[in-house]
A = this chain, B = another copy of it.
Amino acid sequence: MGGITVLLVDDHLVVRSGLRALLATQPDMDVVAEASSGEEALQLVRSHAPAVVVMDLAMGPGMDGIEAIRQIRNLGTGQSVLVFTTYDSDADIVRAVDSGAMGYLLKDAAPEEIFAAIRGAVQGRSVMSPPVASRLFQQMRNPDEVLTPREAELLSLLTEGLSNRELGRRLFISEATVKTHLAHIYAKLGVDTRAAAIATAIRREGMR
């Protein structure tokens, strides 16, 4: 006892079981609860007050991981949240860090990496997987390539296959404005067609 109390949040039971099994090998860590949704996570944080929350970002319908992180941070009860997810999309990383995540691990991380991140989190140190760190670094070096909120909104709709006219209707702006936004988006993503933009958005920005 007296170890680091951990709450696991993932909608896949196998992943929770796997994490639980891994953490069981560490004498200083105790998994005190598991949640399969953002809503459930919030409740369990309240009732168990764990030191660290290990959370997936993608969790089916309902509250997503980002929102869950935000709300947990808003409780003001001092939990450190570690993101543990499959994808390292630029957008997800930025949003997670913005929401107050203390670390960002990929699911193919080595056990030691996971342990180190959890221990670091309780000490206020931020730990992230190398690929994640390099992406963050990349973003900081080229702030010109970061999409504005409006652009991100448009890109998100773009990935649904809408035409400029439809995009305009959806966003209550003229087709001319849509084209302006698109031109900016193309420049930032380094493409020159909407098709390539969609491909890049889904693959690199993680807009599924």
Question: Residues on A close to B: CB < 8 A?
Answer: 11-22, 60, 86, 107-108, 110-111, 158-163, 191, 193-200, 202-203, 208
Do A199 and B159 touch (CB < 8 A)?
yes
Do B197 and A161 touch (CB < 8 A)?
yes
Q: Give the docked Cα–Cα distance between A200 and B195 (Å).
A: 12
Classify the interface of chain A: helix, strand, loop or mixed: helix
Do B161 and A12 touch (CB < 8 A)?
no
Q: What is the total number of copies of this protein in its complex?
A: 2
Q: Could you list 9 further interchain pairs (A-B, Cβ under 8 angstroms) beyond the known A13-B18, A13-B108, A194-B195?
A: A13-B22, A13-B110, A15-B18, A15-B107, A158-B195, A161-B193, A198-B199, A202-B202, A202-B208
Most buried by B among A12, A60, A191, A194: A12
Do A12 and B195 touch (CB < 8 A)?
no
* Nearest B residue (CB) for A36: B108
| Given A108-B60, A198-B199, A208-B203, residue A17 in contact with residue B12 (CB < 8 A) | no
* Nearest B residue (CB) for A160: B199
- Minimum Cβ distance to chain B for residue A161 (Å): 3
Measured between beta carbons, the chain B residues less than 8 angstroms from A158 are 195
- Minimum Cβ distance to chain B for residue A186 (Å): 11
Which of B19, B21, B110, B191 contacts A161, CB < 8 Å? B191
What are 12 sample pairs from A and B whose C-beta atoms fall under 8 A apart?
Answer: A12-B18, A15-B15, A18-B18, A20-B21, A159-B199, A160-B196, A161-B200, A163-B193, A163-B195, A198-B199, A202-B202, A202-B208
Q: Give the docked Cα–Cα distance between A191 and B12 (Å).
A: 33
- Minimum Cβ distance to chain B for residue A7 (Å): 16
Do B12 and A107 touch (CB < 8 A)?
yes
